[in-house]
Amino acid sequence: MDTAEEFTPGRPGEPAYLRIAGELRTRIAAGEFPLGSPLPPERELCVELGVSRMTLRRALGVLEQDGRVHRDATRGTFVSEPRVQLRLGSFSQEVARAGRHPGAELFWAEERAADAAVAAGLDVAVGHPVYALRRLRRSNDEPLAVETTYYRADLVPGLLDGDLGGSLWEEVRRRFGLRVTRTSAELEVVVLDAETSTHLGSRHASGGLQLTRRTFVDSGACLEYAVDVYRADRVSLIIERSVDEE
């Protein structure tokens, strides 16, 4: 235990790692460490700040949770760009609206029979034919989310034969004349498993945001059921709705 440095000069009773995190946060905001640049090696920072490596690593952990830095096991600690702000809707459109370039990497795609969870999500019977696919979604080549998506095969026959590297909503509109009119979503905070962490370039067991979505088209049918897992340190999900006041 790092008892010798549990509390250091600063605000009374403030743990050393929080003071160090605050100091580094201020220096990052002032531009001393530019976006995308590496922080000095841990050994140098420990000497400069007068703390042990354990205390420094706790401070860096706070900054990582805040999305201010990201750590690479082989290259060190880097200053992160601000979180990408996304609203509920098309990933491609939201990333483009943020001034970034959207991308998608297809892991797999297949036709299958809906199990109980997928059937409930799509409002169909168990065994109903669906298209299932999993993609890694990128922003400026940075991995942000793993999407697992299910579509009613009877509404979009042959969907998997088309372009799966861009906006599927746009593909649905263009090829099948269906227009997305409504979405609903449930947001949860999750711990990333080993596979998802690897895909997203995050440390195992780091925090994630899981968005379970249902997408409806102009006929009222539920077209899409999806489970999207985002890097919590790189994405802010914005939920907006109008409020009727009496």
CATH of residue 22's domain is 1.10.10.10
Is 23 a domain residue? yes
| CB 80, CB 233: distance < 8 Å | yes
Is 200 a domain residue? yes
pLDDT tens profile 26-38: 999 899 999 889 9
| Structural domain boundaries, residue 88 | 84-238
Q: Domain containing 172 — which CATH number?
A: 3.40.1410.10
Query: Binning pLDDT at 50, 70 and 90, where does residue 9 land?
Result: low
Is 221 a domain residue? yes
Q: What is the pTM of this model?
A: 0.74
Q: Rounded distance, CA 18 to CA 116, Å? A: 47
Q: Rounded distance, CA 125 to CA 210, Å? A: 25
Question: Structurally, how many domains does the chain consist of?
Answer: 2
pLDDT tens profile 57-85: 999 999 988 888 887 767 889 998 778 88
87: Cα separation from own chain's centroid: 12
Query: Binning pLDDT at 50, 70 and 90, where does residue 3 land?
Result: very low
Full DSSP string of 125-175: -TT-EEEEEEEEEEETTEEEEEEEEEEETTTSTTGGGS--SS-HHHHHHHH
Same-domain status, 104 and 53: no
Is 244 a domain residue? no
Find tokens 């750590």 and name the residue. 71
pLDDT tens profile 157-210: 999 999 999 899 999 999 999 999 999 999 999 999 999 999 998 888 888 999
Same-domain status, 99 and 47: no
Is 122 a domain residue? yes
